[in-house]
Amino acid sequence: MKGAEAVIQSLLAEGVDTIFGYPGGAIMPVYDSLFDFTDQIHHVLVRHEQGAVHAAQGYARTSGRVGVCLATSGPGATNLITGLADAMIDSTPVVCITGQVASHLLGTDAFQETDVVGVSMPVSKWNIQVTRAKDIPAAMAKAFYIAKSGRPGPVLIDITKDAQFGDLEYTYTHCTQLRSYNPCPAPAQHAIKKAAELINNAKKPFLLVGQGIILSGAENELKELVEKSGIPFAWTLMGLSAMPTDHPLNMGMLGMHGNYAPNIKTNECDVLIAVGMRFDDRVTGDVNRYARQAKIIHIEIDQAEVNKNIAADVPVIGDAREVLEDLLPLVNENNHEEWIGEFLALRAIEEEKVSQEELFPEKEGLTMPEIIRRVSEKTKGEAILVTDVGQHQMAASRYFGFNKTRSNVTSGGLGTMGFALPASLGAKLGVPDREVVAVIGDGGFQMNMQELATIRQTHAAVKIVILNNNFLGMVRQWQQLFFDRRYSFTEMENPDFVKLGEAFHIPSARVSERGDVDAAISKMLESEGPYLLEVMVEKEDNVFPMVPTGAAVSEIRLS
């Protein structure tokens, strides 16, 4: 068969049923072959290649499968780079397939030629350029294996046009191992025993939940561990939804805009257990003043993340689920009521000084938190929440109640504005039977708003909530607090989002009065297809709590 068909057959061999892409000259042979397989593979025509890779991320994050996208050479391929970087830092399994100019033109600056392998190398887990048709099946098999094994990540395959046109004798062998690549190291039992000893002797233990719990499918093991040991836990932004929000041992979110209690108590615990998280700077604040009093247990599959930012007293390298399974029998039954009471006292302070005002404001204007809470209540915490980046993202992470795992889709490490709209499309196609609500700021929405056309064309029933404050809100907040209110180029003159939605044939509405919010949200959720709801919120509201840059986490501010 031709190399182009080998690409499609390889996708089918890997169980791929959905791909996101945009055709062009260098990838045209693959698209021509795809024409014969539309009954087996659903191709989603995005309106921009960045939309394709973010949609693939949303698909991967909700379904637990590998997301796939297609693009042409040159600008098509370079438009994927932001999404690759986002997937890399957030550990999302994505396979990106790009077309390339014919091999005899490589290095000649031919039309739409770019060294995409060189460009993508720093932001991909692995990449390869294929110049011969016969090498396509092995490259595809290797790509899928690397993308989904160990700590997941994005992979890029660049295929020259002559390789797509070339002939090969097609056979496909799934890749199950690679020399010198050990994606899932067996955890050292002596380290697990040492961790159990520290946990059993701890008076003030604290457990940090990262996305590794979700990626490894360790939600049940985590629940068993915290309930057996009585250890309070908090989650990172990417760890949201690993456990139900209302679990009695859940103390909230860590980090710069996390909750008051977990940030304060990080610097008071005696044993800190971090599972599947990388001690990102937004979690640690000043690393020189982070949990200096605690013995630190770091359970992490990626050895490169251990001792990178925070030194671990007991590093345990391995898959989170496997480690917790081995740890569980060694941990004693316990409770830490007095220690948990200290968390709850601080939670009460935050509720009084921050949450009460945000959820039940006396001011006339609407707040982001009250809208998030109403969406959460009306979906009973069963929906998948897709957020963009900014103030609304932080409000959503604190006020949405999650009841199911894989319900939080956001851009964590890279902080990519424009992520949510295409990611919500991918999320809905990944799990069609679940409600998907995209919460987006007016700034981020305009970065990829062309994907409204894709949502309409696919009839994906995504519910879009635009929280419009006519500002780049998070930047404005920092300008207010740290730059003497010098609002340098953050105020926005926005389009009419309702008319915009209607122009894409998507039912749309706007709400600005508190008394109209419940009915507007209900109408949105009851609509059968996609729906856009614009909510006018206070222009200069700030998101608190907040750990200022360079401060210790225990210096978190409530105002």
219 occurs within a structural domain: yes
What contacts 276, CB < 8 A, 6 or more positions away?
209, 210, 211, 212, 213, 214, 215, 216, 218, 239, 299, 300, 301, 320
261 and 148 in a single domain? The answer is no
What contacts 394, CB < 8 A, 6 or more positions away?
257, 474, 543
294 and 371 in a single domain? The answer is no
Q: What's the maximum distance between 2 C-alpha atoms anywhere in the chain?
A: 72
pLDDT exceeds 90 at position 86: yes
Dihedral of the CA atoms 379, 385, 388, 389 (nearest 10)? 100
420 and 326 in a single domain? The answer is no
Give me the mean pLDDT over the 376-392 stretch.
Answer: 97
pLDDT at 132: 98
pLDDT exceeds 90 at position 41: yes
Candidate list 2, 5, 20, 49, residue with the active-site label? 49
Give me the mean pLDDT over the 100-122 stretch.
Answer: 97
Among this protein's residues, is 457 annotated catalytic?
Answer: no
Cα–Cα distance, 353 to 559 (Å, whole number): 8
* Dihedrals phi, psi of 93, to nearest 5 degrees: -75, 110
**Secondary structure of 193-255 in HEC code, one letter for each residue:** HHHHHHHHHCCCEEEEECCHHHHHCCHHHHHHHHHHHCCCEEECCCCCCCCCCCCCCEEEECC
- Direct distance between the N- and C-terminal alpha carbons of the chain, in angstroms, rounded to an integer: 65
Banded model confidence at residue 52, pLDDT cuts 50, 70, 90: very high
Give me the mean pLDDT over the 135-154 stretch.
Answer: 98
Strands 233-235 and 205-209: parallel
Give me the mean pLDDT over the 6-33 stretch.
Answer: 98
160 and 211 in a single domain? The answer is no
Among this protein's residues, is 233 annotated catalytic?
Answer: no
List C-alpha distances in Å: 241 to 210, 321, 343, 410: 10, 16, 20, 12
pLDDT exceeds 90 at position 475: yes
Cα–Cα distance, 314 to 190 (Å, whole number): 10
Contact 343, 349 (CB under 8 A): no
**Of the candidates 44, 48, 36, 46, which has an alpha carbon nearest to the alpha carbon of residue 12?**
36
Cα–Cα distance, 546 to 559 (Å, whole number): 8
What's the order of all strands across the beta sheet hosting 154-160? 42-45, 18-21, 67-71, 94-100, 154-160, 126-130
pLDDT exceeds 90 at position 325: yes
Sign of CA dihedral 168, 169, 170, 174: negative
Helix H or strand E encompassing 529: none
392 and 512 in a single domain? The answer is yes
Task: Dump pLDDT digits (tens) for 296-307.
Answer: 999 999 999 999
pLDDT exceeds 90 at position 458: yes
Helices 368-378 and 391-399 meet at what angle, rounded to 10?
A: 40
387 and 244 in a single domain? The answer is no
511 and 387 in a single domain? The answer is yes
424 occurs within a structural domain: yes
386 occurs within a structural domain: yes
Within 10 angstroms of residue 75's Cβ, the number of other Cβ atoms is 12
Give me the mean pLDDT over the 148-166 stretch.
Answer: 98
52 occurs within a structural domain: yes
pLDDT at 412: 97
Give 301: exposed, middle or buried? Use CB within 10 Å, 0-12, 13-18, 19+.
buried
Candidate list 277, 368, 474, 546, residue with the active-site label? 474
Strands 531-536 and 94-100: unpaired
369 occurs within a structural domain: yes
Contact 251, 262 (CB under 8 A): yes
Among this protein's residues, is 382 annotated catalytic?
Answer: no
332 and 451 in a single domain? The answer is no
pLDDT at 503: 98
Candidate list 2, 125, 148, 161, residue with the active-site label? 161
pLDDT exceeds 90 at position 316: yes
Give me the mean pLDDT over the 466-475 stretch.
Answer: 97
154 and 294 in a single domain? The answer is no
CATH number for position 302:
3.40.50.1220
**142, two tokens:** 């290797």
CATH number for position 472:
3.40.50.970
- End-of-domain residue from the set 115, 130, 165: 165
309 and 386 in a single domain? The answer is no
Number of structural domains, the chain?
3
541 occurs within a structural domain: no
206 occurs within a structural domain: yes
Candidate list 1, 40, 111, 352, residue with the active-site label? 111
Vertex 280 angle, CA 92 and 472, to 5°: 80
155 occurs within a structural domain: yes
List C-alpha distances in Å: 447 to 55, 372, 452: 14, 22, 12
pLDDT exceeds 90 at position 363: no
Task: Dump pLDDT digits (tens) for 499-543.
Answer: 999 999 999 999 999 999 999 999 999 999 999 999 999 999 999
Within 10 angstroms of residue 363's Cβ, the number of other Cβ atoms is 10
Among this protein's residues, is 111 annotated catalytic?
Answer: yes
Cα–Cα distance, 211 to 223 (Å, whole number): 15
What contacts 514, CB < 8 A, 6 or more positions away?
366, 370
**Residue 5 DSSP code:** H
Task: Dump pLDDT digits (tens) for 367-383.
Answer: 999 999 999 999 999 99
Among this protein's residues, is 417 annotated catalytic?
Answer: no
Banded model confidence at residue 250, pLDDT cuts 50, 70, 90: very high
Q: How far does CA 422 lie from the centroid of its chain?
A: 13
Banded model confidence at residue 161, pLDDT cuts 50, 70, 90: very high
Candidate list 112, 303, 450, 457, residue with the active-site label? 112
pLDDT exceeds 90 at position 163: yes
Task: Write the DSSP assignment of 329-351 as a string of letters.
Answer: GGSPP---HHHHHHHHHHHHHHI
Cα–Cα distance, 324 to 491 (Å, whole number): 48
Q: Which residue range(s) make up the domain with 443? A: 364-536
273 and 339 in a single domain? The answer is yes
One-letter amino acid of 368:
M
12 and 152 in a single domain? The answer is yes
Cα–Cα distance, 120 to 468 (Å, whole number): 34
Contact 515, 447 (CB under 8 A): no
